[in-house]
Amino acid sequence: MQRRHRIAHRRMWGVLLILLPLILLASLALRRTGPSEAAAIMLAPPK
């Protein structure tokens, strides 16, 4: 690769190494908790 491509490449991936995991972790943290993930509501005591 040409030197300018190598430099652009290096800078771009340096940013993405931080950004990609941050986006994924943030998206997991901000995930909506649906009814299936909510604690089960006991309607009647177990027999």
List residues near another protein by CB under 8 A: 1-3, 5-6, 8-10, 12-14, 16-17, 19-21, 23-28, 30-32, 34, 36-37
Counting every residue written for the chain, the total comes to: 47
Question: Looking at beta carbons only, is 30 or 44 nearer to another protein?
Answer: 30
| C-alpha dist (Å) from residue 26 to 39, 43, 46 | 23, 35, 39
CB of 22 to another protein, least distance (A): 10
The residue ranges of DSSP E strands in 1-47, in sequence order, are: none
CB of 29 to another protein, least distance (A): 10
The one-letter amino acid at 20: L
